[in-house]
Amino acid sequence: MSELLRIDDIAVKYGNIQALHGVSMKVDEGAVVSLIGANGAGKSTLLKAIVGLEPLVSGSIQFQDSLIAVAARDTTQHFRFRKNHDILTTDKIAEQGIALVPEGRRVFADMTVEENLDMGAFMVRDDKLTARKKEEMYEFFPILKSRRKQKTRSLSGGEQQMMAIARALMSSPRLLLLDEPGLGLAPLIIQDIFQKIALINQEDNVTVFLVEQNAKIALRASTHGYVMENGRIVLSGPSEMLLEDPKVRAAYLGE
């Protein structure tokens, strides 16, 4: 399998607090990769760094073999006269084919389901294609179809999560990033959502990178896993192996 996303030794700081310390990892094309870790370990920060919402202090990120993020300091050193040209802004990274379903879903609450999906298809400048994509999404998440004219704020948590995933899929991304898709949802709904994620991966060939506190469900859903503690990757390997790992079992599976 070829490498779709490659993260090389990145560091991110919030003021004086270092959130990520030299994190390296990769996501292979077609895989479902999970990143587990406790609250505050730096998982969301990593996703934000990938989509350009957090600047890198050091290191670089490559997507499909081209650089999408590099530490500003390094840019000025290497490309003094082309400053910023090699750091893509979030919208340009989205155009490369990376979609993020953010933590807490962050649907456009004052917009209807349909308008949210339209926004997901902002980069698709073809009305017919957008309409077809929407129909696909309504078929995939039937509940959204019945809610299409409703403001998204009136949706339940599970519905909003589906809405956020559908919105991310509207642009037909190559890589889907999911930040805590199960957060705050009932177990049955979490199961439903992870089934959908598996389908998205298998049937639509979308590579998935998901971040979860719920280690069991994340590792079961993925082929490869990473464990993050205090801004560092402390363990990685095939998910089945991590599920059996005594340290993982003790720290994250409550056994």
Partner 1 sequence: MGSISEFFQHFLNGLTLGGIYALIALGYTMVYGILKFINFAHGEILMIGAYSGLFLFDYFRGDLPYGPLLMIVFFVAMLISMVISAVLGMSIEKIAYKPLRKATRLAPLLSAIGVSFILSNLAAFFWGTKSRKFDYPFDNTAYKIGDVAITPHQILILVVSFLMMVALKLYIDRTRMGKAMRATSLDQDVAALMGINVNQVISLTFAIGSALAATAGILIALDFKVYPTMGAMAGLKAFVAAVVGGIGNITGAMIGGILLGLLETFGVAVLGIPQGLKDTIAFGVLILILLVKPEGLLGKAEREKV
- Report in angstroms how near the CB of residue 79 gets to partner 1 at its nearest: 21
- Pick the closer one to partner 1 by CB: 53 or 189: 53
Site string for partner 1, 154-193 (x = CB under 8 A): -------------xx--x----------------------
> What is the identity of the amino acid at 125?
R
Q: Which of 37, 102, 181, 182 binds partner 1 (CB under 8 A)?
A: 102
Please give the Cα distance from 103 to 53 (Å, whole number): 13
Please give the Cα distance from 135 to 131 (Å, whole number): 6
Measured N-to-C along each axis, helices 157-169 and 113-120 cross at an angle, to the nearest 10 degrees, of 30
Please give the Cα distance from 57 to 206 (Å, whole number): 29
Q: Which of 24, 76, 90, 156 binds partner 1 (CB under 8 A)?
A: 90
- Number of amino acids touching partner 1 (CB under 8 A): 28
Query: In this structure, are strands 232-238 and 32-37 parallel, antiparallel, or unpaired?
Result: unpaired
The residues with which 3 forms a beta bridge, in sequence order, are 28
Site string for partner 1, 49-88 (x = CB under 8 A): --xxx-----------------------------------
Please give the Cα distance from 4 to 175 (Å, whole number): 8
- Pick the closer one to partner 1 by CB: 65 or 110: 110
Please give the Cα distance from 78 to 212 (Å, whole number): 36
Site string for partner 1, 118-157 (x = CB under 8 A): xxx-xx----------------------------------
Measured N-to-C along each axis, helices 157-169 and 187-204 cross at an angle, to the nearest 10 degrees, of 10
Interacting residues toward partner 1 by CB under 8 A: 51-53, 89-91, 94-95, 99-100, 102-106, 108-111, 115, 118-120, 122-123, 167-168, 171
